[in-house]
């Protein structure tokens, strides 16, 4: 992976921060957040997050952490709200917090109460004793992170440089677990989060960013050594069959559908997507889950699958089967939840057209585009994961916990 660091740009962001009366480190944080966000092989659409710890005007320690509703590639200083550090550190040694209580704690300690909600990974960032912390969901990392039992392999690739954190859903519990792993491995330069992504940290913006690029490059090398190098970002290079999309639309806009009023369809057919949708095991593979936990919020646990010559009636049968399967998934998992859950609409957000391509669905154009972008990256990661070993993302129960997480439901309302 190529570094996008440029001394002249870095200096310009530093100078702009000083001119605006901000800490120059915040300027550098904006800069490296943007170059992380500019690489679709590191993060996409609100994925990933970054932070910087600085000393406030009155000598108080504060952390600027990515706020919800901001994307890293276009972030500005207000997208990195400032939170007082001391109460966050106190939470580490206090009682277990529910995720809504954790959000309340973060909000209560914002310097500017009008700021957006700090990332749900804010405590994890706060606990790490480094000025800069970077977190990404890089394609090559996901191809390896979504394999079973990777602890020994991560050790072989990275030695003691990355410490392995077994899967825990993002939120308070992950912050505590990641902190425990860090404290047991204080010489490490980053954390490997099973089924999720990596964190890097250092006391300068450049060092933390450089580690991210280096660690992702090492993952790319591991995959390449096994003949499983992921393809890079690819353009859509084939047109949709408009008649098929029309038949699909007719079915999807039926009564009771979330798309009755508006339906945007984002058709993608890249070489990687065609490899994926042409696999004989695409039904099994696509049923396993999403490449990183937060994708389930946008694209549901699995796609609906249709054939390229399917009639409207055949598509209607596929939709009915999808909805039935989704309801069963909800019933199975809601039964073990500690609080009552309300089922979301049971329609797919992605449709696989065998041998041809994928269509991301949204009630807004933005939602459909985001879905399409996630599919584009996910298929590259999954193809590589399958070439390397076996694509094994989080379990159905973990997908459900993420999809029906109160905080994520709230985040989605803000995002759209
Ligand atoms: Zn993450």
Residue 13, burial from CB neighbour count under 10 angstroms (0-12, 13-18, 19+): buried
Domain ranges, residue 101: 7-225
Ligand 1 centre from 122 Cα, in Å?
11
Same domain, 147 and 282: no
Q: Which CATH number goes with the domain that contains 142?
A: 3.40.225.10
Q: What is the pLDDT of residues 230-275, one digit of tens each?
A: 999 999 989 999 999 999 999 999 888 999 999 999 999 999 999 9
Last residue of a domain, one of 173, 191, 225: 225
Same domain, 246 and 354: yes
Same domain, 77 and 215: yes
Q: How far apart are CA 3 and CA 158, in angstroms?
A: 19
Residue 260 lies inside a defined structural domain of this protein: yes
Q: What is the pLDDT of residues 191-213, one digit of tens each?
A: 999 999 999 999 999 999 999 99
Nearest-5° angle of CA 97, CA 98, CA 104? 85
Characterise 355 by phi-psi region: left (phi > 0), alpha (psi -120 to 50), beta (else): left
Ligand 1 centre from 258 Cα, in Å?
28
Q: How many domains does the chain have?
A: 2
Ligand 1 centre from 49 Cα, in Å?
7
Ligand 1 centre from 196 Cα, in Å?
6
Ligand 1 centre from 292 Cα, in Å?
8
Which residues neighbour 399 within 8 Å (Cβ) at sequence distance 6 or greater? Answer: 289, 290, 293, 296, 301, 393
Last residue of a domain, one of 225, 258, 291: 225
Determine the pLDDT at residue 50. Answer: 97
- Judged against a pLDDT cut of 90, whether residue 57 lies above it is answered with no
Same domain, 275 and 383: yes
Ligand 1 centre from 139 Cα, in Å?
13
Same domain, 301 and 369: yes
Residue 235 lies inside a defined structural domain of this protein: no
Q: How far apart are CA 156 and CA 160, in angstroms?
A: 9
Ligand 1 centre from 246 Cα, in Å?
36
Same domain, 188 and 283: no
Ligand 1 centre from 70 Cα, in Å?
14
Last residue of a domain, one of 169, 196, 225: 225
Q: Which CATH number goes with the domain that contains 406?
A: 3.40.225
Same domain, 126 and 17: yes
Give the residue from 276, 283, 295, 299 showing the smallest Cα distance to 385. Answer: 276
Determine the pLDDT at residue 249. Answer: 97
Residue 236 lies inside a defined structural domain of this protein: no
Ligand 1 centre from 191 Cα, in Å?
12
Mean pLDDT of 35-46: 89
For helices 172-184 and 85-93, give the axis angle rounded to 10 degrees: 80
Residue 233 lies inside a defined structural domain of this protein: no
Q: What is the pLDDT of residues 91-124, one digit of tens each?
A: 999 899 988 899 999 999 999 999 999 999 999 9
Residue 1 lies inside a defined structural domain of this protein: no
Q: How far apart are CA 140 and CA 214, in angstroms?
A: 12
- Judged against a pLDDT cut of 90, whether residue 324 lies above it is answered with yes
Give the residue from 346, 370, 363, 391 showing the smallest Cα distance to 268. Answer: 370
Same domain, 42 and 137: yes
Ligand 1 centre from 82 Cα, in Å?
20
Same domain, 206 and 337: no
Q: How far apart are CA 183 and CA 177, in angstroms?
A: 10
- Rounded to 5 degrees, φ, ψ at 50 are -140, 160
Ligand 1 centre from 34 Cα, in Å?
16
Same domain, 166 and 301: no
Q: What is the pLDDT of residues 119-139, one digit of tens each?
A: 999 999 999 999 999 999 999
Ligand 1 centre from 135 Cα, in Å?
7
Ligand 1 centre from 40 Cα, in Å?
15
Same domain, 72 and 188: yes
Same domain, 71 and 208: yes
């Amino acid at each position: 992976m190529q570094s996008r660091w440029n001394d002249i740009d870095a200096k310009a962001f530093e100078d702009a921060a000083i001119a605006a009366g901000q800490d120059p480190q915040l300027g550098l944080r904006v800069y490296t957040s943007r170059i992380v966000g500019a690489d679709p092989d590191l993060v996409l659409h609100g994925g990933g997050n970054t932070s910087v710890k600085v000393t406030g005007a009155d000598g108080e320690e504060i952390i600027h952490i990515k706020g919800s509703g901001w994307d890293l590639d276009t972030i500005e200083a207000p997208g990195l709200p400032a939170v007082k550090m001391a109460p966050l550190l106190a939470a580490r040694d206090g009682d277990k917090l529910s995720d809504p209580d954790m959000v309340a704690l973060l909000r209560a300690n914002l310097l500017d109460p009008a700021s957006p909600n700090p990332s749900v990974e804010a405590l994890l960032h706060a606990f790490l004793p480094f000025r800069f912390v970077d977190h990404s969901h890089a394609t090559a990392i996901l191809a390896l992170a979504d394999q079973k039992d990777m602890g020994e392999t991560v050790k072989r690739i990275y030695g003691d440089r990355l410490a392995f954190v077994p899967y825990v859903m993002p939120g308070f519990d992950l912050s505590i677990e990641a902190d425990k792993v860090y404290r047991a491995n204080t010489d490490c330069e980053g954390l490997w989060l099973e089924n999720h992504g990596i964190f890097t940290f250092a006391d300068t913006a450049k060092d933390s960013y450089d580690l991210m690029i280096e660690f992702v490059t090492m993952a790319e090398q591991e995959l390449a050594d096994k003949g499983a190098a992921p393809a890079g970002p690819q353009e859509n290079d084939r047109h949709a069959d408009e008649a098929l999309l029309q038949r699909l639309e007719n079915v999807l806009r039926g009564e009771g559908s979330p798309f009755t009023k508006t339906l945007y369809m984002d058709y993608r057919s890249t070489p990687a997507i065609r490899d994926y949708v042409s696999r004989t095991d695409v039904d099994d593979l696509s049923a396993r889950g999403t490449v990183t936990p937060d994708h389930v919020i946008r694209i549901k646990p699995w796609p609906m699958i249709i054939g390229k010559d399917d009639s409207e009636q055949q598509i209607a049968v596929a939709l009915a089967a999808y909805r039935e399967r989704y309801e069963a998934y909800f019933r199975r998992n809601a039964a073990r939840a500690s609080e009552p859950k309300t089922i979301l609409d049971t329609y797919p957000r992605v449709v696989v057209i065998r041998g041809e391509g994928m269509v991301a669905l949204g009630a807004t154009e933005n939602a459909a585009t985001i879905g399409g972008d996630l599919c584009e990256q996910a298929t590259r990661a999954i193809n590589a994961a399958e070439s390397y070993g076996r694509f094994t993302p989080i379990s159905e129960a973990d997908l459900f916990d993420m999809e029906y997480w109160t905080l994520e439901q709230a985040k989605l309302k803000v995002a759209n």
